[in-house]
Structure 1
Amino acid sequence: MSTTTWFDAYDWNAVQQDIQAVTPQQVERALGNTRRTLGDFKALISPAAQAYLEPMAQLSHQLTQKRFGKTIQLYAPLYLSNECQNICTYCAFSLDNKIVRKTLTDAEIGREVNALKQLGYEHVLLVTGEANQTVGVPYLRNAIRLLQPHFAHISMEVQPLDQPEYEELIAEGLNTVLVYQETYHRETYKNHHPKGKKSNFAYRLDTPDRLGRAGVHKMGLGALLGLEDWRTDSFFTAAHLHYLERKYWQTKYSISFPRLRPIDLLQDDTITSKSFERCMSDRDLVQLICAYRLFNEEVELSLSTRETPRFRDHVLKLGVTSLSAGSKTNPGGYAVEPQSLEQFTISDERSPAEMVDVIRRQGYQPVWKDWDKTLAAL
């Protein structure tokens, strides 16, 4: 049974029109409020709010420092497989992209673990394509068992699962699950996911509810910025977060900001690059990061190596609480098969050590372990 009554309460076109119609007075009122509503969030992501970016940034910095201190959590994605049964128009792992498919063996996972530990990581994000027969629950359960002795925090970004399957993996040591809706616009979602289990919009939309019922410690939300109007998609993400926090109040939450990046396509032994034109600007993304922080002081905000070094350095103090560094987005990218095609093009190729230096130069402290364990030790 669907649990997405929160979603049915909003009309995409009406929300989009509301955001475009926001006045400067509404933005100023939102900035002046201490407990901000979803209506305030609409104001803060509106075109009218672009003129208020400086006060938004200052307030976002203050709120983040008050809640999280001067700390930035570091994590690394560990790609276990690029096998996928879906066709997605924006992903290099798509079934119709004729790349060499790879799923790591136990020994190869061990080599990746050794490489990540040498880099200093204690927080790892497991990533696969969506292929239930190859990288289903038995494979994931085994991977978590292999990784659990080596890492303080294990996150996962794989195909949506049923509630009992999440419960099984949580019992093995899974801490966090990231599941991005990609876009909350039904028709656009359908156009970009024409084949595979991922084409089921409602099942994906209900995934956070299954996670909440399973008792996951933390879940991550987000939209793939560039598939649709970023402002409207971001409002639906905020509304989703608002609903989940009230229903599953014991769970922690994070928001990510994946902007569409170029991908490599392999056809007839020829590699071509595919780019996307609808992506938001850097200024837009700064506005969105600040708007989320002003809307929710508790939510963790994560920024990946999709973004350029210059951009990541400049927004580090504006509300972000976690960063990836030295990321590889192909299975075995750290030690096993560093030359295979990646899921998307990385922008920030600096090593974790270089990123640590950047964080420290800005007066912040890099954190290698989970927030809870770190703060408990203070």
Structure 2
Amino acid sequence: MTDYEKNEFFLDGKNLTPEALAKKHRIEKDPSARTDHMKYMPDMEVIQSDMLEKLLGEVEAYDPAAYTAADVRRALDKDDIGVEDFKALLSPAAAPFLEEMAVKARNETGKHFGNTVYIFTPLYLANYCENYCVYCGFNCYNDIKRLQLNEQEMEHEMKVIADSGIEEILMLTGESKKMSSLEYIGTACKLARKYFRNVGLEIYPANVKDYKYLHECGADYVTVFQETYDSRRYEELHLMGHKRVFPYRFYAQERAILGGMRGVGFSALLGLSDFRKDAFASAMHVYLLQRKYPYVEYSLSCPRLRPIINNDKINPQDVHEKELCQVLCAYRLFLPYVGITVSSRESKSFRDGIAKIAATKISAGVSTGIGDHESKYSHTEDDNTGDEQFEIADVRSLDQMYNDMSGEGLQPVLNDYLYL
């Protein structure tokens, strides 16, 4: 048991302290006990921009039910898809056109990406978190086994992953500046640069100077999930911690760009709110930034809500595979040059199929736990691992994924960057 667990939340790593339990009940029952989710905290950098207001206005005005089959037909008959066309393609009216959308999306993907599919793996460095997000397995009040890799353990995990053939890694932490400091993450970036050609980060949002530091340590790109662009729903789901501040999270990618990151990734967690509006908002976020910073590499993910430890009350909005396929095809037609990543949350059959249509990037050898890549890759038991953030559906190794993608007629790519 660490001092963090003992002093902040738990008596014995399992039972909440009386103070923590009282605070948890208070913020759950009394909305007035929560901080203003639109107000920045003192350590948060403010970017002078009206992009958030513009985007929220677009989302508020979007009514998916207002679009007809004729609107969808007009969109599909165009070579260049505009914002209104994209809205139509995301609408329920587009459901009967899904096969046609998939054919058009496949052609568009082939035009810009060929038949390639990029393969990477995530590495979770720590699962400590200071946020209370009711849908996340890492939330600070959830009784899970917490772990933080030290420098030697980090490097050991990286070597195990690199020896499997992986050349791109995405490193993740829970959102705790205390247990995953910038210096700690910077050390991980320096180590990762020894083993991998492409290094990504999915960590808590940071300020421009912090992103500049992490880029200098070796990070190439940053991914931040907004989770939901529905401000009211966001406030209901994020009850405590830095993540509660909606606008600071929204501007994370722009701060990363200003800090020198080569690429930025975006996503909503589909199922937390109206998935059509969240999908629309995610793509519009990219669309607006793409016009402001055209030299940056942009990518979109499209994860659906998955079960987590100790929570069977999430009640996600229904987002089925057909709806997810529709979203991904609409993304490809609206943003033809943007990379699209499909999570291991999805099944093998779905990932194999969508990689031939719209997706350009896919993970392999995935674990959302801490410190278990060696046991996962060598099939040995190891109790010294931290609990996972969520359940995954596709557990294929790199070799399995590589062979399956090749068998589907795709060309798996492990890296396409050269550092001179």
Q: Using structure 1 for the length normalisation, give the TM-score.
A: 0.93
Equivalent residue, structure 1, for 2:11 = none
Report deviation, 1:279: 3.6
Equivalent residue, structure 1, for 2:366 = 327
Equivalent residue, structure 1, for 2:26 = none
Quick check: 1:103–1:331 contact (8 Å CA) kept in 2?
A: yes
Q: How many residues align?
A: 367
Equivalent residue, structure 2, for 1:365 = 411
Equivalent residue, structure 1, for 2:19 = none
Quick check: 1:260–1:279 contact (8 Å CA) kept in 2?
A: no
Cα deviation per residue 1:290-317 (whole Å; 9 max; x = unaligned)?
0000001100000111001121122121
Q: 1:232 is matched with which residue: 261, 264, 277?
A: 277
Equivalent residue, structure 2, for 1:352 = 398
Q: Alpha carbon RMSD of aligned pairs, Å?
A: 1.8
Equivalent residue, structure 1, for 2:387 = 341
Equivalent residue, structure 2, for 1:269 = none
Deviates more, 1:220-229 or 1:105-114: 105-114
Write the distance in 1 (CA, Å) between the matches of 2:418 and 2:82.
31
Quick check: 1:219–1:253 contact (8 Å CA) kept in 2?
A: yes
Unmatched tracts of structure 1, length 5 or more: 266-271
Write the distance in 2 (CA, Å) between the matches of 1:287 and 1:203.
30
Q: Would you say 1:183 and 2:222 are equivalent positions?
A: no
Quick check: 2:271–2:317 contact (8 Å CA) kept in 1?
A: yes
Give the 3 Å change call, closer, same or farther, for CA 62–255 of structure 1 in structure 2: same
Cα deviation per residue 1:77-128 (whole Å; 9 max; x = unaligned)?
0000001000111111100001121000111112211210122100000000
The runs of 4+ residues in structure 1 deviating greater than 6 Å are none
Equivalent residue, structure 1, for 2:334 = 295
Cα deviation per residue 1:190-244 (whole Å; 9 max; x = unaligned)?
1111000100001111111211212210000010100000100111111111110
Classify the secondary structure of the residue corresponding to 1:227.
Answer: coil
Q: 2:109 is matched with which residue: 42, 64, 88?
A: 64
Identical amino acids, percent of aligned pairs: 36
Quick check: 1:76–1:325 contact (8 Å CA) kept in 2?
A: yes
Equivalent residue, structure 2, for 1:125 = 170
Q: Would you say 1:278 and 2:317 are equivalent positions?
A: yes
Q: 1:315 is matched with which residue: 354, 363, 368?
A: 354
Classify the secondary structure of the residue corresponding to 1:255.
Answer: strand
Write the distance in 2 (CA, Å) between the matches of 1:250 and 1:170.
17
Give the letter aligned to residue 238 of structure 2. H
Report deviation, 1:11: 3.3
Q: 2:216 is matched with which residue: 164, 171, 175?
A: 171
Classify the secondary structure of the residue corresponding to 1:360.
Answer: helix
Classify the secondary structure of the residue corresponding to 2:264.
Answer: strand
Write the distance in 2 (CA, Å) between the matches of 1:206 and 1:314.
33
Quick check: 1:3–1:206 contact (8 Å CA) kept in 2?
A: no
Unmatched tracts of structure 2, length 5 or more: 1-45, 376-381
Q: Using structure 2 for the length normalisation, give the TM-score.
A: 0.84
Report deviation, 1:161: 0.4
Q: Would you say 1:148 and 2:193 are equivalent positions?
A: yes
| Higher RCO structure (Cα 8 Å, ≥6 apart) | 1
Cα deviation per residue 1:46-73 (whole Å; 9 max; x = unaligned)?
0001111111000100110111111110
Quick check: 1:82–1:102 contact (8 Å CA) kept in 2?
A: yes
Q: Would you say 1:33 and 2:72 are equivalent positions?
A: no
| Structure showing greater Rg | 2
Give the letter aligned to residue 368 of structure 1. L
Deviates more, 1:21-30 or 1:206-215: 206-215
Give the letter aligned to residue 368 of structure 2. T
Write the distance in 2 (CA, Å) between the matches of 1:275 and 1:183.
14
